[in-house]
Amino acid sequence: MRPEILSWLIPLPPILSFFLIVLFAHRSNRLSHTIAVGAMLISWALAMSVFILALSVERLGEHPLASSIAWLPTAGTALHIGVLIDPLGAVTLFFVAWTCLAIFVYSVGYHNFGSPRDNEDVPGLPPRAGGIEPMYARFFAFISLFAFGMLTLVVSDNLLTLFIGWEIMGLCSYLLIGFWYAKESARKAMVKAFMTTRVGDVFMLLGLAYLYSVTGTLSYRAIFSGPVLERLAASPSVVAGLSIAGLIGLLLFLGTVGKSAQWPLHVWLPDAMEGPTPVSAMIHAATMVSAGVYLILRFFPLITAGWYEGQALTPTMWVIAAIGAFTALFAATIAVTQNDIKRVLAYSTISQLGYMVAAVGIGAFVAAAFHLITHAFFKALLFLGSGSVIHGVEHGAHATHEHIDANDMRNMGGLRRKMPITFWAFVAGGLALSGFPLVTAGFWSKDEILGHAYETGQVWVFGALVLAALLTALYTGRQITLTFLGGPRSSAAEHARESVPTMTIPLVILAVFAVGAGWLGIADDFPVLGGVLPNWFHAFVGGTLLEEPAATHFNAVPVLASVLAALGGLFLGWLVYRRVRAEQADPLVGPLGPVYTLLQRKYYFDELYSFAFVRPAYWFAETFTSRWLDRVVIDGILHGIGRFALRVGSFLRNVIDLPIINGSGDMVGEGVKRGGRGLRWIQTGRVQFYLVVGLLFAGLVLSYTLAIRP
């Protein structure tokens, strides 16, 4: 079959699985996960075949696998949608397929498949004591839809279907973060995630409309042609100081800020921990947040239109670089003080995404893509690992009837003996995250970003990222030490046990990638190692762009900085936290003082947003718009008109109708009646009376004619 047709098919199995489970299989747990995992396996196989086919294409960037159809008739033409597999798409497809599959398999064990349903469990709350999840089938339906969204986004050849996948993931994250919706915190988190990302999305929609208006198309290949980009970069936009390309780039980037949780829209991601752990892995590694970075990588030609390597950054690039670098550092400081094992990872995700965003901002396309992929592998690994840890500790808590927060690292310790596979996998992920030199993937990708920043003279970006790297290693060292090393600090940790194979096997597979994925992108001029393995990644992914970017040259300063930051941070983390005992305050509380509280409360951003945006907006909705404007002002005017009409009516009746019209009418009637009544006495009906009257009358007439008028 032709590879383009295969690409069309990649997203289909998960969406079919979603509908099959919802319509027919929601009563059977086994059937639902068989369908979901089976569908994902088919998608994975399709994705791998397409990936391999794509590898065999000579100069894939110029001759991508592509096909499209007319979708939307508009005026004289039509909007086309279709699929496109170019180098960037191919490598993204590769990691998405692998991580999604790992997460799907892991979910089977995570939701305690095989255990009986605990009758005290209710839908909407996590199982209390190792019983199977009451909404097991629903979970698999939702993550299937999630995978569909991401795969659609990756194979798209245009911004419109990318946006469709993007928003479907928004819905899935909403549904899955709030999977245990009976928890107040989960309920808040689901709405927060949806609304915060939607802020970015509406800007992105404007960017879409703008781009479509000025180019008449949304497909990448048409937009990223030289003349179109030159025109967009040369014409000024509606906002002063920005070219059209720059403004569209910024609008699209705001979508990334929402989806990839960059400051100032980062607040939703840590709360997204409320969902089941496979969901966290899905959001943090395989899908959502990667989609945001994928978007700016995809639109790299547009964002950097009018900029050439070696020149000063355009305003748009400057904003992107600044937000990325700031977020990388900012989130890392928060991560150091968090005690929830997943929350540390959440902030670390925000921070690592900041690296990628900053890399795009300074024009390091390949480095950003490289870090996106290595990060996806090691972060999926870390999340699934933390889920395994929590599972183990929860098992211990249930066995010992101890009531503790199973997510809190202060209740852990010494788990390396209880959960060896999880431990080693987690260490592999943690070292990759902190950029442990030479062996881990994270080192190579992070080093490439640092090297690029240094080489292009972006000193402040470089400085912020190195500092963030130190903090990253520090909190990773702290996390590994608190969780796995030392002795157990609760009896639950003492009675923890290793997770089932459906959970540990995905961990092992991801660990292999977390270490090995970096070896494909070792710079050619790196001492000793350089050239042993070819820098395949740069050659392949760099081909996505029209002009292949130059590889970063080896420079000792960034490499040394990176090595020192990683080793120093890890060591420091171990040194400070190796002897923490139960109930003891964090060793950093003393030296940091109020700063520690500030960090632990996440710089009070949640409180600030609630005070500055959410509450005023709701007041505006509830009190101003619906109560004052509609009921008091507009309805008031209407009721006023109504009352006025009523008053005019009653005036007409009481002042004109009743006295004058009725009055005169009545007067005629009444007058006649009264006259009649007055004359009644003469109509007696007695003949004698009439004769007397006649006599009198005759007398009167006679007297008149005879006496008065002679």
Partner 1 sequence: MEFVASHLLTLILFLPALTAIVILFLPRARVGLIRGVAFAASLVPLGLSIWLWLAYDAAHSGYQFVEQADWYRAVGSSYHLGVDGLSVPMVLLTTLLTPLALLISWSIAENVRSYMALFLMLETGMLGVFLTIDLLLFFVFWEIGLIPMYFLINQWGSANREYASFKFLIYTMAGSLGLLLAIQLIGVASRTFDLQEISVLWSGLREPLTLLGLPITLSVGTVKAIAFWAFVIAFAIKVPIWPFHTWLPDAHTEAPTAGSMILAGVLLKLGAYGFLRLVLPLYPVEAKTYAGALGLLAVLAIIFGAFAAWGQEDFKRLVAYSSVNHMGFVVLGIAAAAYARGTLAAPDAVIALNGAVLQMFNHGLSAAGMFLLVGVIYDRTHTRDLRSFGGLFPLAPVYGGILIFTSMASLGLPGLNGFVSEFLVVRGVWPIFTVYTALAMIGLLVTGAYIMRGVGMVLHGPLNPKWADHSLEINRREIAAIGPLMALMLWIGVWPAWILGVINKTVLHLFG
CA proximity to 334, closest of 18, 592, 659: 592
Which span (31-39, 189-197, 304-312, 473-481) binds partner 1, by CB under 8 A? 189-197
- Say if residues 259 and 167 touch (Cβ distance below 8 Å): no
Q: If binding means CB under 8 A, how many residues of this protein chain bind partner 1?
A: 59
- Closer CB to partner 1, residue 625 or residue 684? 625
Distance between CA atoms of residues 615 and 625, nearest Å: 14
Q: Binding residue for partner 1 (CB under 8 A) from 175, 265, 317, 464? A: 175
The amino acid at residue 351 is S
Residue window 247-286: x/- pattern of binding to partner 1, with contact defined by CB under 8 A = ----------------------------------------
Which span (193-201, 364-372, 504-512, 553-561) binds partner 1, by CB under 8 A? 193-201
Does 182 bind partner 1 (CB under 8 A)? Our answer is yes
CA 377, distance to chain mean position in Å, is 20
How many alpha carbons lie under 13 Å from residue 488 in its C-beta half-sphere?
Answer: 19
- Closer CB to partner 1, residue 165 or residue 486? 165
How many alpha carbons lie under 13 Å from residue 46 in its C-beta half-sphere?
Answer: 23
Which span (87-95, 117-125, 555-563, 700-708) binds partner 1, by CB under 8 A? 117-125
Q: Binding residue for partner 1 (CB under 8 A) from 89, 127, 178, 488? A: 178
Which span (53-61, 199-207, 259-267, 600-608) binds partner 1, by CB under 8 A? 199-207
Does 240 bind partner 1 (CB under 8 A)? Our answer is no
Q: How far is CA 244 from CA 162, 235, 301, 323, 704, in A?
A: 21, 6, 13, 21, 118
Q: Binding residue for partner 1 (CB under 8 A) from 9, 12, 16, 22? A: 22
Q: Which residue has the tokens 């990638």?
A: 513
Q: How far is CA 395 from CA 112, 131, 385, 487, in A?
A: 11, 11, 15, 18
Distance between CA atoms of residues 22 and 37, nearest Å: 15
- Closer CB to partner 1, residue 216 or residue 530? 216
Q: Binding residue for partner 1 (CB under 8 A) from 638, 661, 692, 693? A: 638
Q: Binding residue for partner 1 (CB under 8 A) from 1, 238, 556, 682? A: 238
Binding residues for partner 1 restricted to 640-659, rule: CB under 8 A: 642
| Residues contacting 49, CB < 8 A, separation 6+ | 3, 6
CA 592, distance to chain mean position in Å, is 33
Distance between CA atoms of residues 344 and 273, nearest Å: 10
Which span (120-128, 226-234, 311-319, 320-328) binds partner 1, by CB under 8 A? 120-128
- Closer CB to partner 1, residue 51 or residue 210? 210
Does 695 bind partner 1 (CB under 8 A)? Our answer is no
Residue 67, phi then psi, degrees to nearest 5: -160, 150
Residue window 148-167: x/- pattern of binding to partner 1, with contact defined by CB under 8 A = ------------x--xx-xx
Q: How far is CA 542 from CA 253, 300, 316, 343, 446, in A?
A: 21, 12, 22, 34, 17
Does 309 bind partner 1 (CB under 8 A)? Our answer is no
Binding residues for partner 1 restricted to 201-230, rule: CB under 8 A: 202-203, 205-206, 208-210, 212-213
Q: Is the peptide bond before 591 cis (omega within 30 degrees of 0)?
A: no
Residues that bind partner 1 (CB under 8 A): 22, 26, 70-76, 78, 122-124, 160, 163-164, 166-168, 171, 174-175, 178, 181-182, 184, 187, 190-191, 194-195, 198-199, 202-203, 205-206, 208-210, 212-213, 238, 617-618, 620-627, 629-630, 634-635, 638, 642
